[in-house]
Amino acid sequence: MTSSEIRQSFLDFFKSKEHRIVQSASVIPHGDPTLLFTNAGMNQFKDVFLGSGKRDYSRAADTQKCIRVSGKHNDLEEVGFDTYHHTFFEMLGNWSFGDYYKAEAIEWAWELMTEVWKLDKNRLYATVYRTDDEAYKLWKRFLPESKILRFDEKDNFWEMGETGPCGPCSEIHYDRTPDMSGVKLVNAGTPDVIEIWNLVFIQYNRKQGGTLEDLKAKHVDTGMGFERICAVIQGKSSNYDTDVFMPLINEIEKLSGKKYSTELKNPDDVAMRVIADHIRTLSFAIADGAMPSNEGRGYVLRRILRRASRFSKNIGIKEPVLYKLVPVLVEIMKDVFPELTSHQSIIERVIKAEEESFLQTLERGLEIFEDIKNRLVQTNKNLISGADAFQLYDTFGFPIDLTELLARENNLTIDKAGFDEKLEEQRERSRNARKTLTKDVEIHDIKAKSVFIGYDELSSEAKVLYVNGNQIILDRTPFYAESGGQISDTGTITLGGQKYNVIDVRKYGNAIVHICDTEVESLIGEIALAEVEIDRRRNIMRNHSATHLLHEALRQVLGEHVKQAGSLVAPDYLRFDFNHFEKVNDDDLKKIESVVNEKIFQNIDVRTDVLPIEEAKKTPGIKMFFGDKYGDIVRVVKMDESFSQEFCGGTHVKNTSEIGFFKIISESSIAAGVRRIEAITGKSIEEFINNTQEKISGKQSEIEQLQVQIKQLEKEVSSYKMGDIKTQMQEWLKQAKIINGIRIVSQKVESDDLEQLRQIGENLRDELGKQGIGLIASILNEKVQLVCVVTDDLMKKYPAGKIAGEAAKQIGGAGGGKPHLATAGGKDISKLPDLLNNFESMIEKFIS
Ligand code: SER
């Protein structure tokens, strides 16, 4: 069968199964800003899978032009070095939109392959997702279990890109080994056993951030490599040997005077395959409206062209040659893809011009590369520096992957990080240059009109109206451009598969201009996805609504004279300047806060009216800011109509409760009679509380540390005291009266508390050793405290408790305790000297 017949038989087969045969979509995914190029047949049905679009059929089939050179699906590296990967290929596909599912998909695939195309059943294997028992069981109807293999996410879970429809899949592989021994080679990356068909069971949507969401319905999405099935049916071991490529290869042979062999590693063959592959990508992309350029999608094409151009040089061709292949390609493809015929001339002209321009520097660049290489070889090194790679890029137009290719061929590597650094430096330079050069000037002449939809939406698709360097204008946008004190939104714009960071937004006339941090590819007329950084914007809205509440609270607490003199609404705080003659005192600040918070707690819906200015002005109590210019039609934002109504174009919360909480963090003077309040709301409060708490607990632990220190010092002091007392005690012993051989000590001491006094008593008892009785006294809390001690040998006869009780009586108190040590207390301080002086006579009496 010829390739045309194979393609047709696929479509006829699915037509007989009631599929609508549809046209291939463009290789440039005009409606999908998340993709650079169409990378699968299902791209044009993404909306149906996600449930946001409908078709008037539930089964479809087609051949889809695909390009896989970027993002999740990128086969560029393999192309030419093997015989079955391509940057451009046709994908034959059939789809069910919530109609049939796994059983029919598998059964029909088997029927087409074995009954219509009569492939050898013994050469087929099926793979299923590791947990997909359902598919496994279905395959058992056709294949022995030894030929049904389970694989994990890497091979059997198909995803379109970082986000989008996805699901488990089941692949069909074809064994080309002579003895059909290839079961171990499935998914092993060899041409002996190749994947020919992928049946995807789409049931999820991969969301930003990685989570999987169940789709409302289950769908089938299959894709077969057309060039591969042609090789299989035509009994060729290489896709390039089929009638899809042979005319191109033959033409390249003619132009170069080289012969194409079937030796896989022959460099001339590699070159011819690369050229045959790349010319298809270039031609189809240009036919569908893309152009080689310096950014985004256009740069991918330029890279591919330069790669092909360098390979043409490898096979000895010195002048532009790629464009000469276009007529051959058109001839092969024109019946299925008439767009090639209608764009043939432009495709040729564009490719030729690109080749001419690159050939001017290619020769010299290759010489430089040789120098770099020789330098490395001489010094026994193999790493090409970032600076060298950048020189090749910047001066000689060598895309980094071309230099990488040259490096690989010469067993060298590149310092890619170093290259990226240089590239970033250059971008920074041109950004800065642009900042000074293209500021507003060009954009002023723009007639573009953008509709601001960011009151209700934070993400939206929109048409590109204008691109200038890093500035882009859309027909509608959720991005707020700085005005009325509210600062601009930030976020991203996705366009042509590239994500650009929006770092500022400005209004010029009727146009809203997004300023990105890099140059934007000029894809005017295409659809972009504009996404505001949501959390940041929510914080801005909280602060803006809080500003209105603050304005009224100030008037209520400080007086009607308060007028707004300026404001700033940022994501992390708000600032409000107003006329007032003196510092706002703390009490008033608290009152103001509490008025605002009361309004937050009241869950008041925030409403907006758009009405003629004359009418709006009549509203009693309405606030307008003299610093703003207003048009004929104004927007009035209301929070509890009797409380706050203000002219305002800014974005606000839907209900005051979303503000969460309001806290003033500073009050100051900025000019004579003008005060400034800075405040925070919502999320910032969380941070504020956490910081405050941290500060408090910092102080707390400082205090705890100090307390520990104090205790420590107290201990030290008391041990010093104790040391002193011990020396004193020697004096006491010397002065002791001796009665009946018993030493009697009675002394007054300084002590801090009863415990210390008791401790002194214990020490005294130790010092006395034998035959001793002691009485010590301190004045504590304006009372006399006594401790009486008796040595072990006497304590039975003269228990300390008794002596203490007796002594206490003399000072108007009482006491008691153990025989060796007892305490007592009394109020009569004046009697203490007598007690101490007469203690020995008291003991004497006691003895007798
Ligand atoms: N979307 C799947 C693939 O590209 C099947 O068409 O492999």
Report the length, in residues, of the chain. 848
What are the pLDDT digits (tens) for 6-36?
999 999 999 999 999 999 999 998 778 888 8
Ligand 1: distance of its center to the CA of 152 in Å?
A: 16
Side-by-side strand order, sheet with 606-612:
606-612, 633-639, 644-647
Ligand 1, closest atom to CA 66? 4
Ligand 1: distance of its center to the CA of 229 in Å?
A: 15
Confidence of residue 620 (pLDDT cuts 50, 70, 90): confident
pLDDT value for 437: 37
Ligand 1: distance of its center to the CA of 502 in Å?
A: 33
Q: The tokens of 584 are what? A: 């706002």
Ligand 1: distance of its center to the CA of 428 in Å?
A: 39
What are the pLDDT digits (tens) for 560-574?
889 898 899 999 999
Tell the residue nearest (CA) to atom 4 of ligand 1.
40
Ligand 1: distance of its center to the CA of 208 in Å?
A: 21
What are the pLDDT digits (tens) for 64-108?
999 999 777 888 888 999 999 999 999 999 999 999 999 999 999
Among 44, 49, 158, name the best residue to mutate to test ligand 1's pocket (greatest count of ligand atoms within 8 A of Cβ). Answer: 158
Alpha helices in 665-781 (DSSP H): 682-735, 754-768
Among 68, 169, 226, name the best residue to mutate to test ligand 1's pocket (greatest count of ligand atoms within 8 A of Cβ). Answer: 169
Which positions ≥6 away from 524 have C-beta within 8 Å? 464, 465, 466, 467
Among 35, 38, 42, name the best residue to mutate to test ligand 1's pocket (greatest count of ligand atoms within 8 A of Cβ). Answer: 42
Residue 233 to residue 196: CA distance in whole angstroms: 11
pLDDT value for 156: 97
Ligand 1, closest atom to CA 91? 6
Among 39, 73, 200, 206, name the best residue to mutate to test ligand 1's pocket (greatest count of ligand atoms within 8 A of Cβ). Answer: 200
Give me the mean pLDDT over the 698-711 stretch: 92
Give me the mean pLDDT over the 359-363 stretch: 90
Ligand 1: distance of its center to the CA of 271 in Å?
A: 28
What are the pLDDT digits (tens) for 735-754?
899 988 999 999 999 888 89
Locate the DSSP E strands across 517-632.
527-532, 564-569, 574-579, 606-612
Residue 320 near residue 62, CB atoms below 8 Å: no
Ligand 1, closest atom to CA 223? 6
**Confidence check: pLDDT of 433 > 80:** no
AA identity, residue 215: L
Share of the chain above pLDDT 70, in %: 98
Ligand 1, closest atom to CA 160? 1
pLDDT value for 652: 97
Ligand 1: distance of its center to the CA of 95 in Å?
A: 10
Give me the mean pLDDT over the 185-212 stretch: 94
Give me the mean pLDDT over the 430-439 stretch: 55
pLDDT value for 392: 95
Give me the mean pLDDT over the 117-134 stretch: 97
Checking DSSP bridges between strand 476-477 and strand 413-414, what pairing results, if any?
unpaired
Among 24, 96, 154, 198, name the best residue to mutate to test ligand 1's pocket (greatest count of ligand atoms within 8 A of Cβ). Answer: 198
Confidence of residue 289 (pLDDT cuts 50, 70, 90): confident
Ligand 1: distance of its center to the CA of 204 in Å?
A: 14
Tell the residue nearest (CA) to atom 6 of ligand 1.
223
Ligand 1, closest atom to CA 41? 6
**Confidence check: pLDDT of 117 > 50:** yes
Tell the residue nearest (CA) to atom 3 of ligand 1.
223
Mean pLDDT of the residues in the chain:
92
Confidence of residue 37 (pLDDT cuts 50, 70, 90): very high
621, 622, 628, 629 alpha-carbon torsion, rounded to 10°: -120
Ligand 1: distance of its center to the CA of 94 in Å?
A: 10
DSSP code, position 211: -
Residue 639 to residue 637: CA distance in whole angstroms: 7
Ligand 1, closest atom to CA 40? 4
Ligand 1: distance of its center to the CA of 222 in Å?
A: 6
Tell the residue nearest (CA) to atom 1 of ligand 1.
40
Whether this prediction's pTM lies above 0.75 is answered by: no
Task: Identify which of 249-253, 286-290, 519-523 has the greatest average pLDDT.
Answer: 249-253
**Confidence check: pLDDT of 442 > 80:** no
Ligand 1: distance of its center to the CA of 130 in Å?
A: 18
What are the pLDDT digits (tens) for 625-683?
755 567 788 899 999 988 999 999 999 999 999 999 999 999 998 888 889 999 999 98
Confidence of residue 725 (pLDDT cuts 50, 70, 90): confident
Distances (CA, A) of 575 to 483, 676, 714: 15, 7, 51
Q: Give the residue among 189, 158, 173 at the shortest CA–CA distance from 78.
A: 189
Confidence of residue 439 (pLDDT cuts 50, 70, 90): very low
Ligand 1: distance of its center to the CA of 291 in Å?
A: 26
Residue 486 to residue 483: CA distance in whole angstroms: 6
Secondary structure (H, E, C), 738-804 = EECCEEEEEEECCCCCHHHHHHHHHHHHHHHCCCEEEEEEEEECCEEEEEEEECCCCCCCCCHHHHH
Ligand 1: distance of its center to the CA of 201 in Å?
A: 10
Among 221, 224, 229, name the best residue to mutate to test ligand 1's pocket (greatest count of ligand atoms within 8 A of Cβ). Answer: 221
pLDDT value for 484: 85
Among 222, 224, 226, name the best residue to mutate to test ligand 1's pocket (greatest count of ligand atoms within 8 A of Cβ). Answer: 222
**437: exposed, middle or buried (C-beta count within 10 Å: 0-12, 13-18, 19+)?**
exposed
Checking DSSP bridges between strand 511-516 and strand 471-474, what pairing results, if any?
antiparallel
Ligand 1: distance of its center to the CA of 246 in Å?
A: 26
Ligand 1, closest atom to CA 199? 5
**Confidence check: pLDDT of 783 > 90:** yes
Tell the residue nearest (CA) to atom 2 of ligand 1.
223
Ligand 1: distance of its center to the CA of 255 in Å?
A: 36
Ligand 1: distance of its center to the CA of 149 in Å?
A: 19
Residue 284 to residue 146: CA distance in whole angstroms: 41
Ligand 1, closest atom to CA 200? 5
Residue 635 to residue 649: CA distance in whole angstroms: 6
Ligand 1, closest atom to CA 93? 6
Ligand 1: list residues with CB < 6 Å: 40-42, 93, 158, 198, 200, 221-223
Confidence of residue 440 (pLDDT cuts 50, 70, 90): very low
Ligand 1, closest atom to CA 39? 4
Give me the mean pLDDT over the 168-188 stretch: 96
Ligand 1: distance of its center to the CA of 3 in Å?
A: 20
Ligand 1: distance of its center to the CA of 663 in Å?
A: 55
Ligand 1: distance of its center to the CA of 224 in Å?
A: 8
Does residue 189 come out as left (phi exceeding 0), alpha (psi in the -120 to 50 range) or beta? left
Residue 522 to residue 771: CA distance in whole angstroms: 111
